[in-house]
Structure 1
């Protein structure tokens, strides 16, 4: 059953240009089942990064589908964030771009998979920032 508390980690692929490239970032994901129009297996939840490593203190909402040992969801942070040329974190008021996750059941209580975000732009405090495309791997284990 997908409902419950999951703990996991994610990492950026080596080509991604972020301050914590190849650093494993722990997170907690609380999932509950939810209806998706016309299908069973819908889910929603709340994702919380380990802020001591990622500097991300805000939770993200998760919406998706668990079906036939596969997991598909989108992660939505309420505010835009990224890193400038000097590696400093910036945060703006607009919603962050969607981050897409896919995964497969690996063992009874472990999912693993990949994530990706598309390149886009956001204006933060009057300055235009580029949010680079990125991807990586992730896993979760039920607690």
Structure 2
């Protein structure tokens, strides 16, 4: 897996990728699968109201140059209260963007990832992050 992050820049993003790899592996109990630059752990099945459906990683991240992208299957809104205590970050509908994990509360991040993962694998969500 080290070779997956060898070309990741800046160095802080590479460091954060190693941290998230260990954290998500511990949370999920699964080995990572890398697909198109996204490091995923486990899968869940989603179905949109439109009828479109598919499979996606139950927990995932991508070390992008601008920021670390952390994918939350149940959407950002499900974690608004916890994220208020995370530290510096931005977000999209289903994605949390962090530029420096060292500036964040990793216990808060762990809790958010655990909750999102458990929600995804329990099939509780119809993927509101993308609806």
TM norm structure 1 = 0.27
TM-score (norm 2): 0.29
Considering fraction of residues, name the structure with more strand: 1
Q: Hey, which of these two has a bigger chunk of helix by percent? A: 2
